[in-house]
Structure 1
Amino acid sequence: MRSPTLLTQIVMVANAVVLVVAVGVLLVLPTPEEPAARHTSASAGASGGPKGPAAPPEAELPSADLPPAVVATPEFARQVKANEAGLVPVLMYHRIVKKRRASIDRTPAQVRGEMEKLARDGYVPVTAREFVTGRMDIPAGKHPVVLTFDDGHSSHFALDEAGVPVKDTAVGIIYQVAEKYPDFRPVATFWVNRQPFGLQKRADQARAVQWLASRGFEVANHTWSHPYLPGLSRKRIAEQLVRVERMLGELGAGPSETLALPFGAMPGARSTVQRGKWDGTPFRFKGVFLAGAQPSVSPFTEDYDWRAIQRIQSNGKKGECRRWCSQYWLEWLKKHPDQRYTADGDPERISIPGKLRGNISSKRRQQVNAY
Structure 2
Amino acid sequence: MKKAMILLLSLMLTFVFVACNSSDTDQPKPQPNNEISEKEENIQPVEVEEVTPEETDQSEESTEEPTEEPTEETKEEVVLEPEPINYEEVQPNEIGSIMVVMYHGIMDNPPYHRTAEDFKKDLSYMYENGYRPISIEDYINNNITVQAGLTPIVLAFDDGLSSSFSLTKGDDGTLVPKEGTAVYMMEEFYKEHPDFGKAATFFINGDDAFGEGDGTYRERLQWLVDNDYSLGNHTATHAHLNTLSADELQKEMAIVDEMISNAVPGYEVRSLAYPFGERPLNAIDLVEEGTYNDYTYTNEIAFRVGYSAPYVGPNHINYQPFNHPRVTASEGYDWDLWYAFNYYEQSPNQRYRSDGNPNTIAVPSNQEKNVNMDSLGEKELIVY
Residues 184-228 of structure 1 deviation map (CA, whole Å, 9 limit, x = unaligned): 111100000123533289971111111111222101111111111
Distance in structure 2 (CA, Å) of the matches to 1:174 and 1:316: 20
- Determine the structure 2 residue equivalent to 1:204: 216
Distance change (3 Å), C-alpha of 1:352 and 1:297: same
Distance in structure 1 (CA, Å) of the matches to 2:122 and 2:189: 10
Q: Which amino acid aligns with 1:154?
A: S
Q: Does 1:266 align with 2:279?
A: yes
- Determine the structure 2 residue equivalent to 1:138: 146
Distance change (3 Å), C-alpha of 1:347 and 1:88: same
Distance in structure 1 (CA, Å) of the matches to 2:249 and 2:321: 19
Distance in structure 2 (CA, Å) of the matches to 1:284 and 1:356: 33
Distance change (3 Å), C-alpha of 1:200 and 1:246: farther
Distance change (3 Å), C-alpha of 1:79 and 1:177: same
| Selected match of 1:157 from 147, 154, 165 | 165
Distance in structure 2 (CA, Å) of the matches to 1:264 and 1:203: 31
Distance in structure 2 (CA, Å) of the matches to 1:105 and 1:285: 26
Q: Does 1:344 align with 2:369?
A: no
Distance change (3 Å), C-alpha of 1:118 and 1:200: closer
Distance in structure 2 (CA, Å) of the matches to 1:110 and 1:156: 14
Q: Which runs of 4+ in 1 moved over 4 A?
A: 200-203
- Equivalent position SS for 2:367: helix
Q: How does 1:301-320 map to 2 (within 5 A)?
A: 301-317=316-332
Residues 233-252 of structure 1 deviation map (CA, whole Å, 9 limit, x = unaligned): 11101001000111011111
TM-aligned CA deviation for residue 363 of structure 1: 1.2
Q: How does 1:91-240 map to 2 (within 5 A)?
A: 91-97=101-107, 99-100=108-109, 103-162=111-170, 163-199=175-211, 204-240=216-252
Distance in structure 1 (CA, Å) of the matches to 2:193 and 2:346: 22
Structure 1 contact 69–345 (Cα < 8 Å) conserved? no
| Selected match of 1:79 from 86, 89, 104 | 89
- Equivalent position SS for 1:91: strand
Aligned length: 297
- Determine the structure 1 residue equivalent to 2:311: 296
In structure 1, the gaps of 5 or more residues are 1-67
- Equivalent position SS for 1:114: helix
Identity of aligned residues (%): 27
Distance in structure 2 (CA, Å) of the matches to 1:196 and 1:109: 27
Q: Which amino acid aligns with 1:256?
A: V
- Determine the structure 2 residue equivalent to 1:31: none
87-96 vs 245-254, greater mean Cα deviation:
245-254
Residues 89-113 of structure 1 deviation map (CA, whole Å, 9 limit, x = unaligned): 111001212x32x542211111111
- Determine the structure 1 residue equivalent to 2:270: 257
Structure 1 contact 287–306 (Cα < 8 Å) conserved? yes
- Equivalent position SS for 2:290: strand
Distance change (3 Å), C-alpha of 1:235 and 1:313: same
- Determine the structure 2 residue equivalent to 1:361: 372
Residues 115-174 of structure 1 deviation map (CA, whole Å, 9 limit, x = unaligned): 111111111001223212211211111110110000111111123322432231111111
Distance in structure 2 (CA, Å) of the matches to 1:267 and 1:200: 32
TM-score, normalised via structure 2 length? 0.73
TM-aligned CA deviation for residue 285 of structure 1: 0.8
Residues 325-354 of structure 1 deviation map (CA, whole Å, 9 limit, x = unaligned): 111111111221111101111111111112
Distance in structure 2 (CA, Å) of the matches to 1:289 and 1:114: 21
TM-score, normalised via structure 1 length? 0.75
Alignment RMSD = 2.1
Q: Which amino acid aligns with 1:334?
A: E
Distance in structure 2 (CA, Å) of the matches to 1:122 and 1:175: 19
Distance in structure 2 (CA, Å) of the matches to 1:120 and 1:183: 11
Distance in structure 2 (CA, Å) of the matches to 1:79 and 1:246: 48
Q: Which amino acid aligns with 2:216?
A: D
Q: Does 1:88 align with 2:98?
A: yes
Q: Which amino acid aligns with 2:317?
A: E
Structure whose CA Rg is larger: 2
Distance change (3 Å), C-alpha of 1:278 and 1:216: same
Distance in structure 2 (CA, Å) of the matches to 1:134 and 1:296: 15
- Determine the structure 2 residue equivalent to 1:284: 298
Distance in structure 2 (CA, Å) of the matches to 1:283 and 1:199: 25
In structure 2, the gaps of 5 or more residues are 1-78
Structure 1 contact 193–223 (Cα < 8 Å) conserved? yes
248-257 vs 288-297, greater mean Cα deviation:
288-297
Structure 2 contact 111–328 (Cα < 8 Å) conserved? no
